[in-house]
Every structure is written in structure tokens, then in C-alpha cells.
Amino acid sequence: MPYPSLYSITYSYMGFQQSQGNNAFPGTQIDADLDGLAASVTNLSAFMKTAIRSDGQLNNGLVTFDTLSPSVQTAGLAPANAWMTATLYLLNASTIQAGTLYRSTVDHTSGVFATDLAAGKWVFVAALTAAFTPGANLQLVGPVFSVIPSPAFTAPTASTAAPGTNSTQLATTAYLDSKLAAANGVATLDGAGKLTAAQIPAALVGAVQYQGTWNASTNSPALASGVGTKGFYYKVSVAGATTIDTISQWNIGDTIIFDGTTWDKIDGIASEVVSVAGRTGVVTLAFTDISSQATLAQLPTLAANTVLGSIAGGAPIALTTAQHTSLVNAFTTTLNGLVPNPGTVASKFLRDDGSWQAVAGAGTVTNVATGVGLKGGPITAGGTLSIDASYMRGRISGLTLSTAGASTAFGIAAGVATDGTNADMMLFASAYTKTTAAWAVGSATGSFDGTGSAPSATAGWYHVHLIKRPDTGVVDILTSLSAAAPTLPANYTLFRRIGSMKTNGSFQWIKFLQQGDRYIWDAPVGDVNAFALSTTSTLLPLTVPPGISVEVTFLGFWTAGTATAEMTFQSPLTSTQASNSPLGNVSLINSAASSNASGQFTFQTDTSQNIRAVAAGAYTGPALYVVTQSWLDTRGRFL
């Protein structure tokens, strides 16, 4: 390998200084010279790596016999043999004793190895910890085993093995091609390792083989007429009428077996009913189907309160009253002591003492007591029972909002809710539509309460309220910039916020979908774009309703020019905390420099629409993106 080329600086910086005085050196020339020097360092480092390892030792395979000094070459590089007693060992001779390599320090004739070692005749070289590696085999050379590479083993591929020794062949026993798949020869296997049908004795072909149970009602497993394997059979586990090769009557315990052409049936019971009164299939007997009719009597139509007993002279006999009672007492609680049924008199009832009593004349309810959740009071000409709304605290059902978007109209579904003070219930009996115009009672009218900016001036958030007139019971819909204190129309004193919506610059509603208490933007909103997040906690406003705290769901996307850059999202309702404190308190972390990390998150906002974010360190080129998807608004359910 040639020596690496080195960069030579030809430009004279001293000459420049002498001619230019205190002027700055040319930047492009400095960059070029520095780049050249950097390339030289890189080339020199690569050249050094070819000879020296990272631990400072020479690379394996670098030293050859020719590179050894003459003194080392003549010192003797013979393979080390196992140590033996009474043997002459010359200076620098090598030996192996107890898995350890030693070198002789003096000419000597061996005696006891431990004694020679203690006398300094041997010096430790290395412990031999690996006798051989997997994939290699051992070859005996004199008294020592050496490792040679493992060859690719083969098997005989010709009818007659070649003469001589083959060290790579597992077996040299010859076989004859003429004996393969031949009488008194060797059977062969197909590609799946199975015997071919031609080599199976005829006595085995078609042998009976149990395959399991068969449901004759659902034909499971599925059997088909004329299709099967000879000798295969099933036991019928569920009776049925599946037709297989003209047979359609199958009883539990029957056997169905394939004879090579058709399926046959072997009855599983000693005798079975083939027909009833000469009929087959689903049989319904008529009186004329019964033999020996002269000794039987057809049951007559019974008179009311009549029970027939035994037959005498071909006719049934009616039971007496005593027989009735005895029969009932035998199967039920005794009837003794009960009074008889008074008949169809509707004004009587059976008392617990067994007597029938007449119902007293109808009365009038004049007062209802107040109970749990129920408002009572006196009743004169008429009255209405009502539920105490305080027991329905926070109750809301239905009343979902909808809009097609880019429109001044929105819809409100029917529903019911307690008012904001839990003083009364408000029933919104049927669905409405409302617009962004000034409020007017009824559907398809305006809804705005007139507070704040004019309805068409700017885009913004509006809170939708259910309102009620207690004097008339009329319930309607109002929109307001205020979440807690809308300007109510005259005589309307009760209200409850049921949702929030946002308008565009033309005072048109922006499209969303509502599922229960969750509001989903039809088009997700990119609220944070490439924000340079730092270790200082930052409040990030998102597109959710103001004036209330909601549970917002958003997508977070994070990148930085620093590897393993970490950041954390937090709810501003909690105390500020550093990212990754405690350990693992991390929302997003990039795996490498300039890589990305993303995820979906849910946090509770403050009433100013904010979430909080903080980075774990000062990173190069941090960029945070947040896209708002939806929010959960309990609509005062838990207040």
C-alpha cells in the first residue's frame, strides 16, 4: 500500500501580511488550506489503521515470516508439541503443558515439568483457551491435534464408488440403480419424503382409517357424493338428513365409509324405525293410523270443569270432586281451607286469609307527599308531579350541535338538561336550526345575544346556551361570546351552556362533528409551526373554546439537529416541571440528529386554550409542530 499523499501549503501568509499590513487574511485561501490539511489527516489516519489496531497493537496477519528479524527467524518456529519427560529441549523450543504454551530458556533434558518450571527452564507464553472453532474438524499429526477447515460433506451419487480414499464423503457404500423401486430392492421417496402410491402394497391401499366424527345435520366436515379416499370413515355424532350418495337418514352411532366409488352407511343401532304406520319422513299420526281401533275410544271434546280418568267399556270416566281434590293435592300444595272462586265479579279480590272481599268505592287523591327527588303537595282540581332538579345535578342528554360549515346556520338536536344552577329541568322537545343573526324565539331564527362585537365583524368563538322562560315553560337556543354570563332575552332567567362553536371571518360556522361530548374538527388545525422550543416552559394556545377548560387531543411532531433531543407536553393546570424529570417524563424524543418523532396526545387546557411544552436541553435547530384534532367538553356535566 503506498504512503498517503500529504497536502503542502504553497500560499505565503507572511508575504500577504508584509504586503497588506493589518488587512484580514483571504478567507477562501484559509478554507482551502484547512481542507487540504484535514484531508491529509484523514488519509494519514486511514493509513495508520491498516497497521495498528485501536488498542495500539499491530493488526492481525500483518507480521509474516519475511518481516521477522533474522534472530527470530533462526530461533525456531517449529509447532509446539506436548511436553514429555527425558527429552532434550533446546533454547527457544516451545511445548504445551496443561493447556498452556511455554518457551525454553536454556538447553536442557526434561525431568519433572513443575521442577523444571520452578528452576526457570521454561517461561510462560500464553494460555490456550480455544482448542478448535465450530465448523472445523481435528486432524492428528504426530502427537498433536491441529485444526483444519471442515470440508463440504457429500454422499454416494453413483452406483459404484470410485476406488481410493475420499476424506469428504460421509459414506462410500455403493448402491445399484436397478434396485431402486424394484422388487426386493430399495423403496424411494417423493419430493415430500413420502412413499409413492405405486410402492405401497395392495393390502394397504383402501385400509379402513378412522377420520373422526361427522355432523349429519350440518355436513361437517363437508362430504360430497362420489368423492373421497378409499377406506376413510367417520362416526355420526349428530343425526341429520344430509343426502350423500342417495342416503339421507343418519342416526347417532352410524358409520359412513368410502368404498372407492361411493359413500356407504353402516347402521350404528341394532334396529331402527324405518316407517311409522306405513309413513316415512316427518310423520303426523291420524286416528285412522292406529290399529285395533275397536278397543280404544277417541277422546271427546270435554265440557268445562271436567277431568276424564280411566276408561271403562271403551269410554273415559269423569272424575268426582273428591278425585279432583286428591289429584291436585298429590302434585301441589293442599287446597284444603281455600274458599271457592266467586266467579267473574270484578269488584272482589282474594284476601290473604283466603276469603273473597268486595272492592270499596273509588277515592280521590288529595295530596302527594314530597319524597326523594319528587316534589309533592296538595291536589285540588288537578295537579302535576315533577322531579326535583337538584337530584338531577349536571344532567344533560342529547342537545348535540352540527353545521355544514361555511354557513350561518347550525342545528341543535332534541334533548334535556338541568339549568346551570340545578334549579329546574329544561326540555328541548324537537330539533332546531338557528343562525348568526340577532336572537328571536323559535326555529330557523337568529341566536346571537348581541354582546361584544357585532355579529359580522370578526371571526371568533361563540358559546351555545339552552335557555328557558319559567313563566311559560318555553325553551330556546341562544349564542353568546360569554361562556358563563350570556345576555338573556326578557323573561328568560334559566340557562345552561351546551357547547361552543367557532366562526370564520364572514361570521360563518366552521365545520366540526360532535359525538357525545367530543367535538372533532372536520379539518385538523395546525396551531404550532416550527416553534423553537427551549428549556423554558412555554404556553401554546390551541384552537379550542376559550373561557372553559377542555380535554384537547392533538398530534405532536418534534425534530432537532441534536440526537436524542427530548421534550415534554404538560397541562397548564399542573405545576411546571422540567422535561425528563422524573426520569422518563418525556413526550417525544428523536433517535438521531435531524430525525423526527411524533405522537398523539391528550391534555387538559386552561381557560385560555393553552397547553404547556418544554425541552429537556438546549438543542440545535429545535422545531415543534402541533395539529389540533378534537376536544372533549363535558358541558357542565360534573359541576
What are the pLDDT digits (tens) for 100-156?
999 999 999 999 999 999 999 999 988 875 544 444 444 444 444 444 454 555 555
Q: Are residues 262 and 245 in the same domain?
A: yes
Query: Is 570 in contact with 612 (CB distance < 8 Å)?
Result: yes
Query: Is 427 in contact with 475 (CB distance < 8 Å)?
Result: yes
DSSP string, 544-556: S-SSS--EEEEEE
In a domain, residue 596? The reply is yes
Q: Which of 514, 543, 559 is the last residue of a domain?
A: 514
pLDDT of 511 reads: 97
In a domain, residue 309? The reply is no
In a domain, residue 69? The reply is no
Q: Containing domain of residue 118, as a range?
A: 76-127
Query: Is 438 in contact with 489 (CB distance < 8 Å)?
Result: no
Hey, what amino acid is at 422?
N
Q: Are residues 28 and 41 in the same domain?
A: yes
Question: How far is it, in rounded angstroms, from Cα 279 to Cα 254?
Answer: 22
Q: Are residues 509 and 600 in the same domain?
A: no
Backbone angles phi, psi at 34, to 5 degrees: -65, -40
Query: Per residue in 414-435, is it b (16+ CB within 10 Å) or e — as a string?
Result: ebbbbbbebebbbebeeebebb
Q: Are residues 481 and 537 in the same domain?
A: no
Q: Which of 243, 266, 289 is the last residue of a domain?
A: 266
By C-alpha distance, which of 290, 295, 293 is closest to 277?
Answer: 290
Question: How far is it, in rounded angstroms, from Cα 441 to Cα 434?
Answer: 10
In a domain, residue 407? The reply is yes
In a domain, residue 158? The reply is no
In a domain, residue 574? The reply is yes
Q: Are residues 510 and 522 in the same domain?
A: no
* Domain at 107, CATH number: 2.10.10.20
Q: Are residues 473 and 541 in the same domain?
A: no
Ranges of residues in the chain with a pLDDT under 50 are: 131-148, 150, 294-297
Question: How far is it, in rounded angstroms, from Cα 221 to Cα 117?
Answer: 81
Q: Are residues 11 and 96 in the same domain?
A: no
Hey, what amino acid is at 340?
P
Q: Are residues 524 and 507 in the same domain?
A: no
* Domain at 595, CATH number: 2.60.120
Q: How many domains does the chain fold into? A: 5
C-alpha cell at 288: 285412522
pLDDT of 428 reads: 96
In a domain, residue 562? The reply is yes
By C-alpha distance, which of 496, 495, 498 is closest to 514?
Answer: 498
Question: How far is it, in rounded angstroms, from Cα 323 to Cα 630?
Answer: 78
Q: Which of 470, 490, 514 is the last residue of a domain?
A: 514
pLDDT tens, residue by residue, 79-112: 788 999 999 999 988 899 988 999 999 999 999 9
pLDDT of 486 reads: 95
Q: Are residues 503 and 526 in the same domain?
A: no
